Structure 1
Amino acid sequence: MINKVFAPTSCILGEGIYFDESSRHIYWVDIINSIIYRKNVDLLNDSYDFFSIGSMPSAVLSVEDEIITFVDRFGIGHFDLNTHVTELLYDTPYTESSGFRANDAVKLQDGSMLYGTMYFKPGDKSGNLYRLESGKVNEIEDLSFSIPNTFIELEENILISDSLEQRVYSLNKDFKNKIVKTLWKDFSDENYTPDGGCVDRNGNIYISMWDGFCVRVFDKDAKLKYKIELPVPRPTNCILVDERWLYVTSAREGMSEESLNLYPSSGNVFVVDLGAVSDQ
């Protein structure tokens, strides 16, 4: 499989990737620099757009009528691509007033939005899961994650990883009753940890591996099918376009000067031609 740089952004913490089918734009964020990026997938040069948000956006949830909906350290907001005005729509009802931010998120098939939060020093305190439905953000009780990632919606469940624990969990989607968290895949014996991911039409599950130099592809039962190698140690998230092209964000955060010299493409967005592999 051939991979190449799609956008040479050198993000400190690239994340939150989203594909808008109508405009064929890929959106992603640099959480640390509070920037949302945009680039058309059919554009073959290195140019891209970027918008300074100022509130640590961590995931793009949707793009409709030139409005980006995203989650940031304060809650769920809008960014108007025409006026460049940012508006906070819903506050996250944190139990503590400071020290937390949002991390990964997903817009679910039922139209609600699910996201996780984390403490700036994740080893000290855990974050929570929140869901926006019917104009209100509610905490999902009795569920905590130190670094919530992945947020892949499947037919009957949602996969959410805790990158600090190096584990992926499966959560049922019965939000009217108790959400049950069960172990789906344990990576705690490895030197890498699960980060963001996506799923294709055949149910193949793609998970970026922080410190793993790859995206690993699993079936619904968590059995490894194959891995997609990348030229950077810290891929962070991925999205499929046209069931063939895998776009992958990456990070430079926490890397030594020596590592950055060895892997200078860290922080860029990559595109991988999967060919017919995703049809398997």
Structure 2
Amino acid sequence: MTTLRMTSIAGTTAVVLTALAGIARVAPAQSIASQVARVTNGTVRMTFAAKPGICGSGNSIRHSNSRGSTSWGNENNSRDVEWESDCSLGPARVVLDRRNGELTDLRFYVGGRWRPAGADVVDLGTVPAREAADYLVSIAQSEKGSMGEKAIFPATIADSATIWPALIKVARNPDLPRGTRTQSVFWLGQAAGDAATANLNSLVLDNSVDREVREQAVFALSQRPRDEGVPALIAVARTNKDPEIRKKALFWLGQSHDPRALDLFEELLTKK
């Protein structure tokens, strides 16, 4: 009898610990959302680790990788952050303005240091990068205005965060603003790995998705590494049923200067 009681207690304890572990996994992302939600009127700041190779100054952010350096934005001033160098490495910084309980603006920076905060500023400090990415993606998945579009880029910068599966869902959701969906497709095109190319292909082929979103997916394929993007674009140009999508694929193949694209053009031009 004692053995049975001990087994029962152990089993109950295991169930409780498992449940608590599940709560611990989801609580941090909820914590960011709940802390932000407490600010009805004011500004919320948060800081998180950025991916390696990303630096910023003002609203200009640069990312250096094996394919070169890419820049976003060109303004050097900010009311939220100040810098002492032209390109300051991380961390990532997000600023959220809230009015009457609604998100009214979202700003994003890399590097530098916060300017002195006013009385209406709540600083969440440094939050885990993956949880920051989850929170930002949740904005993209729920906001009906431009805030969803603004949330995607900083989510892609979060260190050690894999968000492309969520970006695919955003891109396929017809209830979200078109700007948010096309922005998701654009950043999906910057993601690493064969999975990104495969999912872009699936978007291009899905006629239930808006043409503008599918055209953005074609562009995103053109941004993939050449050995991934060019064959995918050739397949689109050969087989896609939508003539406008085929035309977009041919345009971006023309920009690639790849011999395989030239072979396709010759084939199409000489085809009887």
User: Shared fold (TM-score greater than 0.5)?
Assistant: no
- Greater C-alpha Rg: 2
Which one has a larger percent helix, Structure 1 or Structure 2? 2
Which one has a larger percent strand, Structure 1 or Structure 2? 1
Instruction: Identify the structure with bigger relative contact order (alpha carbons < 8 Å, sequence gap 6+).
Output: 1
With normalisation by structure 1, the TM-score equals 0.28
